Amino acid sequence: MNQPKSILIYSHDWSYAFTKTTEFLGEACESMDIPTLIRDSCDVRASRLITETLDNEEITQDFEDEISRRINTLVYDHGIDCIIALDLGWLFIPDLFLKNPRIKKIYSIWFDDFISWCGTPNNAIFPYRQNSFQEVITHPKVVHCFYGKAIGREAARLGVKNQIHSNLAAPQSFLEHNFPCTIDNKMAFIGNPGCRQEPSKQIIKCMKEGATLDKLRNLSCQEITGAIHKGIWKWTKEHPDIKKLLATAVFAKREMPYTSALEILEACGEDYPNAINYLNDHSRILEAAHVIKFVLRYDRPAFVNHLYQKGLVDVISNEHEWKQYDIQASPPIIADKLPQYYMKYPAHLNAANAIRDATANEKLFEISACARTSINLNSPDVAACYDGSNEIYLANTFEEAEEMARTILKDPDTALSRGKRCRLRTAHEHTWEHRIKKFFSLKNWE
Amino acid sequence: MSEIDNKDAVLILTDDRYTPASKTSRFIMQALRRLGIRAWVRDTSDVRYLFKTLEAKNLEKHLGASGMIHVDRFKSFVDLAGVQSILSLDLHWLFTPEPFCSNDKIKKIVSLWFDDLRTACTSQDAIKPTDRSFQETIGHQKVHHCFYGQAQMDEGKLLGITNTHFSQLAAPLEFAQRETDDLRHPKKLAFIGNPGIPTPPSEKILNLLNNKASLKELRKASAMDLLQNPSMDHFRKLHTNIPKIIEQAIEQKLHEPYTSALQLLLKQEKNFPGAFDALNKSGNVLEAAILIRLVNRYDRPALVHRLYQHGFVRVFSAEDEWKPYGIEAKPLIRFHDLCRVYRAHIAHLNGANSARDATANEKLFEIAACGRASLNLTSPDILKAFDSPTEIIACDTLEELESKAHDLLAQPEQLLEIGNNARQRVIREHTWDKRIKTLFKSLP
């Protein structure tokens, strides 16, 4: 197989102690005997923001020039011909890698969606060179790897043609851990509630009263349409048909929860052509899709909340965010302790973050790699990765999930056997090495 | 502390994100993780560069607020990850004086010294020792300095550092466990590295090298050059006795090549009253020490040159710096390939960088970990780490080196046996795992 001579992986998470994926990618590349360096761009981004605030173009330019010089020297010395980054972690000096003839390909492995990425602090590139953003991300050297159709569709709207579908994955090293299962009367959920916005009192009350998934999605639709009518998002007032288009799309999402928000918006746009054209022409279409994604925002917290109330699950991480759902979570787990925690329990809950509009998240693979099964909400993406009848559990309702959890806790050995099959499947199909090999298959790397 | 505290978490700070051959911080991180200690490597290069840029543009007033953005991020990392110890090569943790000494969560800061103090302080974007709080920070009670040579220890003491520990360098366990590489050059030695001091040799030195001059002759020639060094005029202006004390120390270095330059200066102190004090008070003592060390500057290039002339050795890295010696070096070895290249050759040449004034360098241990013999100049530090001739080959002269290389290349089995013995010694005593374990046990 053709493969790069040497890889530089850029992460964007330097100051975060919970990061892990860039290191996993590095291990996968090294296991393929490709010399690999991992660097992060966080300091450069932050420093660039600082120099820009000085309002002194000369300093900003000098800074950019010197950092470019140093990185180009590293690229030369190490014989680097390929860049890999999560999201657009490589994009901190726009022309740097694009103009360097030694760099043949740049792979963006998407975890975030575009709107979330561009709205993250220190992603200075978006406001800084807004005009060239599309030009840069659609450059022929850049390959975008998306794990959900929604992100790919959003990218296509931005003109990104060079894209491949690639599931997320687990590190090979997780397959090798063998920590004991020491808690057999509880499952666990490790993670945050997804959307950071505070839930309304009505939602919390409904969750406590055992509202169904359908009811919560319906309530969410009402909250969103209410906000649209109130004009919370100012751009919704810019064309008379936008509110109608959004309202139609929001309820359509409720009916088709695993169809991407953008696809729904485009379909509904056939009835409101002026509105959809306006959104597209005025660069609002991704923001509109973002609003529609909120329909599922309570899926994850409600799923966790339902089993938590029944005493079936321990919730770990993001204590303050869970507090608003009346859930007492324990402190976050540092990345290197994750396998230990996954293996401590006989099984896990897993649910996607609604904002991604994609359900086969990284945790699905990591839990499996640690030889544990998971209960997930039934979605086509998750079902495509693992078998719902003997590897993972796929629930259509909270009640079904509760029943599955009780079955697991009644007979943890059976759950552990499923976990073993999850591990096997992961070893065969779902490690980062599998993904990286796919990236470099002849079609993509030559 | 009798055992390593598994709850400890270590943040390793580096300053080498633009260096393709950097590897040691990562090896140390892996060693810590194997010991059950959580560890991360993070880099300070870009932050240093920002600070230096603002300083150079006379925008120091922005340093406070700008610095805080970065300092706060380090603090947040320390809080979230539960970091209690900072560890770094040299002073890589010191990118701005404040963040760790005053953080209550940080119990200890460990500087593992590779460079000498002067080189570390004059490297790109480093905090200069003239900065007000420099000495105070490096002498802080939380800060532990681990030196692999007496010279570094002497320098540290001069700067008021009392928290010093002797700790040899080491090799990664991964190197000692690797078996798979082919011995592709059973009849060739290799030397991987630069000539030490980057300035090219004079015509006179080149002639000596080409005419197979002895180490003594080369050191003598180097000493003569050093006495003509323009900085001697500068020293004379500081105190009339300074050039004299340096001259005497240089003369003494010819007889005691492995005694540290600072000790040689101190030995001469009584003969030239006021000179040492004047050097010290004017902040020039390390400048003087480096001059004295340069007596040995041609040791390494001569070692390589002598065997290169015979076609015994393949040289890798720093092509431009080797060219003036008439040596055609092959490109830099990336750390990914280092072990493979070590194992591809039957044995290796190893020579210390004279600027360090310490001889048991990292390569000594890495070559051994890879199961290969190394040919070295005899020095007390090297013999403390390995036995000659069962684990390494130590030579007193270039003639001896040449003759041993010639004989041993004809007996590859013997070289492999020596290499294997060296590897066993590394596994027993000289891995980063062993060093870190000893270090963390001994530090309060």
* For testing contact with chain B, the best of A8, A47, A52 (most B CBs within 10 A): A47
For residues B109-133, average pLDDT: 78
Do A17 and B80 make contact, defined as CB atoms within 8 angstroms? yes
In Å, how far is A310's CA from the nearest CA of chain B?
Answer: 31
**Residue B101's pLDDT is what?**
87
Q: Are A364 and A425 in contact (CB under 8 A)?
A: no
- For the cut 50, the answer to whether the pLDDT of residue B2 exceeds it is no
How far apart CA B390 and CA B394 sit, in angstroms, is: 10
User: In Å, how far is A77's CA from the nearest CA of chain B?
Assistant: 6
Residue B66: closest C-alpha in chain A: A50
Per-residue pLDDT, A121: 67
Residues of B in contact with A50 (CB under 8 A): 50, 62, 66, 69
pLDDT attached to residue A443: 63
- A54–chain B nearest CA distance, Å: 8
Residue B5 has pLDDT above 80, yes or no: no
Sheet architecture: strand order including B313-316: B313-316, B185-192, B345-349, B373-377, B393-395
Residue A18, pLDDT > 70, answer no
DSSP-assigned letter for residue A337: G
Which residue from A43, A79, A332 is facing B46, i.e. has the nearest CB?
A43
CB contact under 8 Å between A43 and B62, yes or no, is no
- A201-208 vs A213-230: helix axis angle to the nearest 10? 170
Average pLDDT, chain A: 91
Please write the tens of the pLDDT for every residue from B284-338.
999 999 999 999 999 999 999 999 999 999 999 999 999 999 999 999 888 888 9
What is the chain B residue with the closest CA to A70? B18
Query: CA A172 from chain center: how many Å?
Result: 20
Of A6, A44, A50, the CB nearest to B69: A50
Round to whole Å and give the CA distance between B347 and B370.
10
Q: Answer with the residue of higher pLDDT: B23 or A142.
A: A142
B-chain CB neighbours of A42 within 8 Å are 73
The gap between the terminal CA atoms of chain A, to the nearest Å, is: 10
Q: Is the pTM of this model over 0.90?
A: no
How far from B173 is each of A29, A400, B2, B391, B392, CA to CA, in Å?
21, 50, 23, 18, 19
With 50 as the cut, is the pLDDT of residue B364 above it? Answer: yes
Percent of chain B with pLDDT over 90: 67
HEC string of chain B? CCCCCCCCEEEEEECCCCCCCCCHHHHHHHHHHHCCCEEEEEECHHHHHHHHHHHHCCCHHHHHHHHHHHHHHHHHHHHHHCCCEEEEECCCCCCCCCCCCCCCCCCEEEEECCCCHHHHHHCCCCCCCCCCCHHHHHCCCCEEEEECCHHHHHHHHHCCCCCEEECCCCECHHHHHCCCCCCCEEEEEEEECCCCCCCCCCHHHHHHHHCCCCHHHHHHHHHHHHHCCCHHHHHHHHCCCHHHHHHHHHHHHHHCCCCCHHHHHHHCHHHCCCHHHHHHHCCCHHHHHHHHHHHHCCHHHHHHHHHHHCCCEEEECCHHHHHHHCCCCECCCCHHHHHHHHHHEEEEECCCCHHHCCCCCHHHHHHHHCCCEEEEECCHHHHHHCCCCCCCEEECCHHHHHHHHHHHHCCHHHHHHHHHHHHHHHHHHCEHHHHHHHHHHHCC
For A212-252, the pLDDT digits (tens) are 999 999 999 999 999 999 989 999 999 999 999 999 999 99
Render pLDDT for A119-141 as a digit per residue (tens, 0 to 9). Answer: 776 665 544 456 688 889 999 99
Cβ-based contacts of B76 with chain A (< 8 Å) = 15
Which of B17, B57, B73 has the CB atom closest to A59's CB atom? B57
Alpha-helical regions (H) of A282-379: 285-293, 299-309, 319-323, 338-344, 362-369
Q: How far is CA B287 from CA A392, B159, B284, in A?
A: 68, 14, 5
Mean pLDDT of B224-237: 92
Dist. CA B139–CA B162, nearest whole Å: 7
Kindly list the residues from chain B whose CB atom is less than 8 angstroms away from the CB atom of residue A35: 334, 336-337
Pairwise CB contact (< 8 Å): B49 & A46: no
CA dihedral B389, B392, B395, B396 (to 10 degrees): -90
CA–CA min distance A83, chain B (Å): 15
Query: How confident is residue A114, by pLDDT bands cut at 50, 70 and 90?
Result: confident
- Could you tell me which chain A residue has the CA closest to the CA of B331? A77
pLDDT score at A93: 85
Say yes or no: B82 contacts chain A, CB-CB below 8 A.
yes
Q: What is the DSSP string of A18-58?
A: T--HHHHHHHHHHHTT--EEEEE-HHHHHHHHHHHHTT-HH
Q: What would the mean pLDDT of B382-410 be, rounded to a whole number? A: 97
- Which amino acid, one-letter code, is at A377? L
User: What pLDDT does residue A247 have?
Assistant: 96
What is the signed CA dihedral for B375, B16, A20, A79, rounded to 10 degrees?
A: -70
Q: Which two tokens stand for residue B369?
A: 């970990």
Distance from CA of B344 to the nearest CA of A (A): 16
Which whole number is the average pLDDT over B12-22?
Answer: 79
